[in-house]
Amino acid sequence: MRIFTLLFCLLISNSINAQDDKTLRSIYDLALTKSEAYENLRDLCKNIGARLSGSEEADSAVVWGQNILNNLGLDTVYLQEISVPHWERGRKEKGYFYNEKGKNTLDVCALGGSVSTGMNQFIKAEVLEVHSIEEVVALSDSIVNGKIVFFNRPMDPKKISTFSAYGSCVDQRYSGAVEASKKGAIAVIVRSMNVRKDDFPHTGSMAYEEGGDSIPAFAISTNGADYLSENILSFKGLELSLKSYCKTYPDKISYNVVGEIKGSKFPNEFITVGGHLDSWDLGEGAHDDGAGVVQSIEVLHLLKLMNIRPKHTLRVVLFMNEENGNRGGIHYAEKAASKNEKHLMALESDRGGFSPRGFSVSGTNEQLEAIVNWKPLFEAYGIHEFKMGFAGVDINPLKDDKVCLIGLSPDSQRYFDHHHSDNDVFEEVNKRELELGAASMTALVYLIDKYWMY
Amino acid sequence: MRIFTLLFCLLISNSINAQDDKTLRSIYDLALTKSEAYENLRDLCKNIGARLSGSEEADSAVVWGQNILNNLGLDTVYLQEISVPHWERGRKEKGYFYNEKGKNTLDVCALGGSVSTGMNQFIKAEVLEVHSIEEVVALSDSIVNGKIVFFNRPMDPKKISTFSAYGSCVDQRYSGAVEASKKGAIAVIVRSMNVRKDDFPHTGSMAYEEGGDSIPAFAISTNGADYLSENILSFKGLELSLKSYCKTYPDKISYNVVGEIKGSKFPNEFITVGGHLDSWDLGEGAHDDGAGVVQSIEVLHLLKLMNIRPKHTLRVVLFMNEENGNRGGIHYAEKAASKNEKHLMALESDRGGFSPRGFSVSGTNEQLEAIVNWKPLFEAYGIHEFKMGFAGVDINPLKDDKVCLIGLSPDSQRYFDHHHSDNDVFEEVNKRELELGAASMTALVYLIDKYWMY
């Protein structure tokens, strides 16, 4: 404990140093002029595209990651083998209902992990609209039985962080099917996790309980949800027809992709930066999380360009399977523990390639204070928010009482317009915003490597 | 001076008040749930569209502004008559050159205010690439004479604020024709003011000198500029052909649109909020400056919804002719001076409808300090930057030693992807980002009205 206190005294006394100011300026200059992040993202999105765990595209993404890291001239590049789930959507889903004007089609998609509605058949039943899991739990079986339960609680627009709005809404998507099936529902359809009104259905993970009924689960676009809700009000007993083709296959072998620059002073102490290589199967996984992948790679690229060899071993990890299992993140932490690797810090980018605004720190108060003390170095780059908070799904399994876990916090306003949908494409990422995020990550890694000790 | 000092003591002592915190929360809540800004912007962009001074669309925009303000139930709505320039682009411009592969067409447009290339004819001449006004000035007449001068200095990607990059580049667009014509150039073509590489030519104002030659002036997209530059290198004596159809007509009558809520305590002291109603003739004037117009209107709408009557008279001004003359802004300040109106503060939004990050203050150090003191009230909404800086073109003529001029500062990274081009359309504005800007403006107006005195 005493060492720790000394460490942070050292850190703070060094924290506003003219040389650091210059180094940060060089990092941002290089990121805005020589970064490969944007072209790497184009390549990943356009030549591979969506890459759900278990898919051929995920296999290609592993090879892609390995090639990119090999070309960086790192000290080591290797794979960590894991077993991943393999779920496929199959053909485009269908949804419709009839009202007095005739047939109304809806923008729907299966939630990830859902069972299908069965071979070549529609599920058709009366829709029951609810606004929470609790509401379903409180209803009598006779009201829910045989119906399609429609979870329609919107993300709260009043929350300034859209991640906070997501967090208080996503239980409907993840657990809606379990709770509805206990009351006899035959399917669920969930309002997409997006504040904006548009026509994109957003997929995402859902789960069944062992021993429970597995009923098909769908997402419906926000516009579609509003439209369906209006029609339920004006058309008593409205029946919805839904069809999906998805299927779960046996697990497959896949990999985390890892690259390292060996530490010059503390080769057995580690700083990890990463994002997740897998994506949902809609769109191109551009913001989620192609951006985080190419930014993490860029941290090592920028340090290489600057001829900075870190004191601690710096690792980039392209995690597999964040979206529907986090087996890559769990495996990485288990492997680190089994090898007794000391992690000083792990930094994840998995909130989109938007203008960076700060860092979300999951660590000790002393660690946060030390980072806050660097604020003056970051303000010129629009980085103001240094807060305690969740760091990232992939790195979270590393959590112990010493490691500092950090998440890059970009501006969150547009993120859920893209997340898990056909709208998560390369064109929606701005080159400068992506580069500023990569520079901010690099600057933080540089400072922690320079001033922190395990 | 003594009064002023007392004023700011008062201000600071009141500045972190639990009630203010609640009021700001209500302002943001309302803006994110009940704002009319986004639908007003849709209406302005989609039903009127581009609205350059002197155009029929600008006339429609004046009527539109008057109607919106009338529907708000303000104490007064009126027009301020001004005379505005009237320039029309005419048909879509053409640009091409030949190389060994044949004809290459370029994405070009006339700069605003330019003369045309003449009735139904192309200008054709060798291109001379330069990177600054100074470079042209230093060249001998014989090198420039008879050529088309191509100004190709890019906006500096290393500048974190794109406005700063714009500011150190836009002299090429504004004054390039004047300086090139003095050396005998027959036309100029200027790299578009955008960091991003794309195919949109960006227009904007340029000027001629009295007594000088008026030569046609064009913009070329950033991709086009790079392509042209490569070809100039590989093809000695490359000749460019350009054609434009634009024309300046006699001045027309137009209007600033003004609405007021009378101050409950100081009706003869004024707070003005505004944006500019005119736009360039490409795109729909969504970010520039439809966003600022609907946000300024929203300030009064939100205060009305909250039943807050300001102590000072609150004015919204939809300025005409910011883009090519600023006659609305100049007239507004002259009128205010002639009526001896005391302006406490004027706030402008004219940097796009992106996530707000702070305020740019043109005032005294005491005024800035007083605003900085409110930081804790704003941080929860992502507003961190309170800096001395330029406030806005429309309100700038109000500048004196007392008034505090303030500009809303949104995230600047994407602004020049849209500015003055076909890409400045409603779809490129995010509803939440627009609303957060309107809320931030309302919060600042609320605090200044409450705590400041003239």
Distance from CA of A438 to the nearest CA of B (A): 14
The confidence score (pLDDT) of residue A17 equals 79
pLDDT value at A300 more than 60 = yes
pLDDT value at A425 more than 80 = yes
The confidence score (pLDDT) of residue B3 equals 45
Interface test with A, best of B21, B28, B432 (most A CBs within 10 A): B432
Nearest-by-CA chain A residue for B29: A158
The full DSSP string for A73-90 is: T-SEEEEEEEEEEEEE--
Residues of chain B with confidence (pLDDT) below 50: 1-14
Question: Residues B167, B171, B172, B173: is their CA dihedral positive or negative?
Answer: positive
3 state SS of B441: helix
Nearest CB among A157, A162, A196 relative to B33 is that of A157
Which residues of chain B lie closer than 8 angstroms to A32, CB-CB? 157-158
Distance from CA of B131 to the nearest CA of A (A): 18
Number of separate helices (H) and strands (E) present in chain B: 14, 16
3 state SS of A161: coil
For residue range A345-374, list pLDDT tens digits in order.
999 999 999 999 999 999 999 999 999 999
For residue range A20-34, list pLDDT tens digits in order.
999 999 999 999 999
CB B252 within 8 A of CB B304: no
* Letter string b/e over residues B112-151, b meaning 16 or more CB atoms within 10 A of that residue's CB: bbbbbbeeeeebbbebbbbebbeebeebeeeebeebbbbb
For residue range A66-99, list pLDDT tens digits in order.
999 999 999 999 999 999 999 999 999 999 999 9
Spatial distance between the Cα atoms of B131 and B399, rounded to a whole number of angstroms: 34
Structure ipTM:
0.95
Contact criterion met (CB < 8 Å) for B158 and A28: yes
Percent of chain A with pLDDT over 70: 96
Distance from CA of A46 to the nearest CA of B (A): 18
For residue range A113-133, list pLDDT tens digits in order.
999 999 778 999 999 999 999
Q: Largest Cα–Cα distance in chain A?
A: 75
The confidence score (pLDDT) of residue B6 equals 43
CB A277 within 8 A of CB A28: no
Contact criterion met (CB < 8 Å) for B411 and A196: no
Choose the catalytic residue: B322, B323, B428, B435: B322
pLDDT value at A309 more than 70 = yes
Structure tokens at B95: 């640009």
The confidence score (pLDDT) of residue B168 equals 95
pLDDT band of A15, cuts 50, 70, 90: low
CB A118 within 8 A of CB A187: no
Cα B345 versus chain centre, distance = 19
Spatial distance between the Cα atoms of B410 and A411, rounded to a whole number of angstroms: 12
Contact criterion met (CB < 8 Å) for A411 and B384: no
Nearest to A278 by CA among A20, A65, A40: A65
**Residue B260 is among the residues annotated as catalytic for this protein:** no
The confidence score (pLDDT) of residue A16 equals 62
Spatial distance between the Cα atoms of B57 and B87, rounded to a whole number of angstroms: 13
**How does the average pLDDT of chain A come out, rounded?**
95
Nearest-by-CA chain B residue for A381: B160
- The letter for the amino acid at A370 is A
Nearest CB among B381, B384, B385 relative to A160 is that of B381
Contact criterion met (CB < 8 Å) for B411 and A160: no
Structure tokens at A407: 């998440």
The confidence score (pLDDT) of residue B416 equals 98
pLDDT value at A386 more than 60 = yes
Structure tokens at B7: 């004023």
* Letter string b/e over residues A233-256, b meaning 16 or more CB atoms within 10 A of that residue's CB: eeeeebebbbbbbbeeeeeeebbb
Half-sphere exposure of A242 (CA within 13 A, CB side): 30
DSSP-derived pairing of the beta strands A102-105 and A266-276: unpaired
3 state SS of A208: coil
Beta strands in A51-163 (DSSP E): 76-88, 94-99, 102-105, 108-110, 123-130, 148-151
pTM exceeds cut of 0.90: yes
Which residues of chain A lie closer than 8 angstroms to B428, CB-CB? none
Contact criterion met (CB < 8 Å) for A381 and B411: no
Position of tokens 């290459």? B104
Contact criterion met (CB < 8 Å) for A382 and B411: yes
The confidence score (pLDDT) of residue B293 equals 99
Start-to-end CA span in chain B (Å): 11
The confidence score (pLDDT) of residue A2 equals 39
For residue range B38-51, list pLDDT tens digits in order.
999 999 999 999 99
Nearest-by-CA chain A residue for B431: A196
Q: Which residues of B touch A (CB under 8 A)?
A: 28-29, 32-33, 157-158, 160, 162, 195-196, 355, 357, 380-382, 384-385, 411, 413-414, 417, 430-433, 436
pLDDT value at A1 more than 50 = no
Sheet of B266-276: strand order equals: B76-88, B247-261, B312-319, B266-276, B342-348, B404-410, B356-362, B385-388
Nearest to A293 by CA among A404, A441, A167, A399: A441
The confidence score (pLDDT) of residue A13 equals 39
Spatial distance between the Cα atoms of A339 and A269, rounded to a whole number of angstroms: 12
